[in-house]
Structure 1
Amino acid sequence: MKTLTTFAATIVVAAIVPTAAFANGLTQNPSKTHVPVYHRTIEIEGLDIFYREAGAKNAPTILLLHGFPTSSHMFRDLIPLLADKFHVVAPDYPGYGNSSMPSVDEYDYTFDNLAGVVEKFTEKVGLKKYSLYLMDYGAPIGFRLATKHPERIESLIIQNGNAYDEGIDNDFWEPIKEYWKDRKAVNKGLDNPFWINVKKAHNNDNLAVESALAFLVTLDATKWQYTNGVRDVKTISPDAWDHVQSRLDRAGNGSIQLQMLYDYGSNPPLYPDWQAYFRKHQPRTLIVWGKNDQIFPADGAYPYRRDLEHTELHLLDTGHFALEEDGAQIADHIRRFLSVTN
């Protein structure tokens, strides 16, 4: 097992300074042409689904699918950089961002169901063909769409999103894998440097796995996700985790996130199907990966090249939420890559 840097040593509270995105001009379009970003809500399966949309609808479409624990907010700076040339659409899943948040008793939070909502969303807003930007939870949601409707997928953009066993073979995932087997597991998978520090924070050496995983919805964990592995923490705006944490702190949301962590266990059994899709349909694929990510390390980026013949891989010297520090660079890669594709 690979050893993760302990969260206690890597959680750093950044000073309140402009974001790297702002400093690099990410709020401006490369063409210098202002393209408005619209914030809309549409009803899907009785739920209000919030989404951001920009660009001409007859332009090539990019569907941006966010990760945990964020929302379309993670694309707030990327969208304006792409909207002069592309039709860009970014929904919030149920339970995330500004979409409806029914309780776990009212809604079955599974990746199958979230993928179903996104599928119906694409159909209702009229997305017939699109490129997929997949990050974290967005990967298993997007790959479900791709395997069901390969004819709709023009290309893939993968940023710290996993489809191979190598990508979850690290300390971070040990207790989560035990959680998939037994939701009442005690102290299983927690005996490694990363999770030992979590137990210390709980002052409990015999900790239930679910209690340990509840750490992942706390402010410390959210800050860690945004700051771990970055080059310069002072460029990461607290606005990012402040926005996320306000959603996580809503009554009942912690239970939603634990349910989604549990259901993440439904994804590895589908890896062979997704890999078969890669081999059969060979979508052109751009991989822009924060190589210092301790949740989805770079080990998960390389295997795509086993199955995809037309793959461009860029390992970025940043962490899990690579857009926060390298958004301008990622936008440049996307614009160039999709210009060739389209």
Structure 2
Amino acid sequence: MNKSTIALPRRSILAGLAAAPGAAMLASATNALAQTASVAPAANNIRYLTQKVGDVEVYYREAGPADAPTILLLHGFPTSGHMFRDLIPLLSDRYRIIAPDLPGFGLTKAPPHGQFTYSFDSLAQVVNGFVEAINLKRYAIYIFDYGAPTGLRVAMAHPERVSAIITQNGNAYVEGLSEGWNPIQKYWKDPSDTNRQALRDFLKPDSVRWQYLQGVPDPTLVSSDGSNLDSYYLSRPGIDEIQLDLFLDYRSNVALYPAFQAYFRKEQPPVLATWGKNDPFFVPAGAEAYKRDLPKAEVHFFDTGHFALETHHREIAALIGDFLAKNR
């Protein structure tokens, strides 16, 4: 397994962005990449690396001292490790931060649809292989959206590696699912082509932008860079079918909720829940439910939406720092 440094990530990405639909999306995505590359010295210089895991080449961000306690950041739909661009510099002065792009997202290279099983089991297997390939022995794990069922599979497979869990709108309880899941649940019950095609609206730029803004009291605080970059990645050939497969397979996560909860009860990992209380997909009851199995869980709500880091990265970073200082 080889690890290599991406020496000129912006050049190769920007060449591909020329094919992105619309000049506005290109300009905003360019701004996003420039923002990611402009890191303060306190961030210990974010490095952009790749690591082979079987047929997958995982692209990831790494920052912080190599000998510091590690935090593994797992993103959700429809984003990538880019979503952590504001959080990483606030933690990497005292933590080693690792933020991979999952297969089917961002800049991770994986076999095309039809040659690789795009399921949450597969995502977790790749993350487990990635953790082993870069020799992470123990780490706290930050789980968000799709990163939650992926990361919790990883934690169940190797509970001895996980020192703590930070869940930011990362659901593990049925009461956390909002009515926003109804169209997807309809697809679970009847995986017909009609129901599959009906979910394509979730992949459109307007829908992606809506996910960033819904529930945010002041939308002017949310840059368009992140959502436009996500929409570019979603526009690549074959990615739509991958995402539709994952919509269907999300039902496997709900089926695993009892197993996740049994893991919580048995292992009692320290848990910090930081939740955008206006999330249209994962409602506050999902955060409160952690206390049922983990009485010592810390739960904090913010007046924002699904992508809480867009508006509250400073507050969340402060909570993480205090929490991990107590749970190493």
- TM-score under structure 1 normalisation? 0.83
Q: Write the letter of the residue equivalent to 1:99.
A: T
Q: Tell me which residue corresponds to 2:214.
A: 228
Give distance in 2, aligned partners of 1:52 and 1:28. 12
8 Å CA contact 1:283–1:310 kept in 2: the answer is no
Q: Tell me which residue corresponds to 1:184.
A: 192
Cα shift readout 1:25-69 (whole Å, capped 9, x = no counterpart): xx877xx73511100011111221100001112111100000000
Q: Between the two structures, name the one with larger relative contact order (CA 8 Å, sep ≥ 6).
A: 1
Give distance in 2, aligned partners of 1:251 and 1:184. 22
The Cα of 1:307 is off from its aligned counterpart by 0.3
Q: Which 5+ residue runs of structure 2 have no aligned equivalent?
A: 1-27, 32-37
Q: Write the letter of the residue equivalent to 1:279.
A: R
In the alignment, structure 1 residue 308 sits paired with structure 2 residue 294: yes
Please give the residue correspondences for 1:101-180 in structure 2 after superposition, counting only pairs within 5 Å. Answer: 101-168=110-177, 170-180=178-188
Q: Tell me which residue corresponds to 1:203.
A: none
Q: Tell me which residue corresponds to 1:193.
A: none
In the alignment, structure 1 residue 89 sits paired with structure 2 residue 98: yes
Q: Tell me which residue corresponds to 2:243.
A: 257
Please give the residue correspondences for 1:28-107 in structure 2 after superposition, counting only pairs within 5 Å. Answer: 33-107=42-116
8 Å CA contact 1:68–1:137 kept in 2: the answer is yes
Percent identity of the aligned residues?
Answer: 47
8 Å CA contact 1:132–1:153 kept in 2: the answer is yes
Moved over 2 A (4+): none
Please give the residue correspondences for 1:291-302 in structure 2 after superposition, counting only pairs within 5 Å. Answer: 291-302=277-288
The Cα of 1:80 is off from its aligned counterpart by 1.0
**Partner-residue secondary structure (3-state), 2:42:** coil
**Partner-residue secondary structure (3-state), 1:40:** strand
**Partner-residue secondary structure (3-state), 1:119:** helix
Give distance in 1, aligned partners of 2:127 and 2:42. 30
> Which is helix-richer, 1 or 2?
2
**Partner-residue secondary structure (3-state), 1:90:** strand
Q: Tell me which residue corresponds to 1:340.
A: 326
Q: Name the count of aligned residue pairs.
A: 296
The Cα of 1:101 is off from its aligned counterpart by 4.2
The Cα of 1:235 is off from its aligned counterpart by 1.2
Q: Which 5+ residue runs of structure 1 have no aligned equivalent?
A: 1-15, 20-26, 186-207
The Cα of 1:252 is off from its aligned counterpart by 0.9
Give distance in 1, aligned partners of 2:316 and 2:258. 28
The Cα of 1:209 is off from its aligned counterpart by 2.1
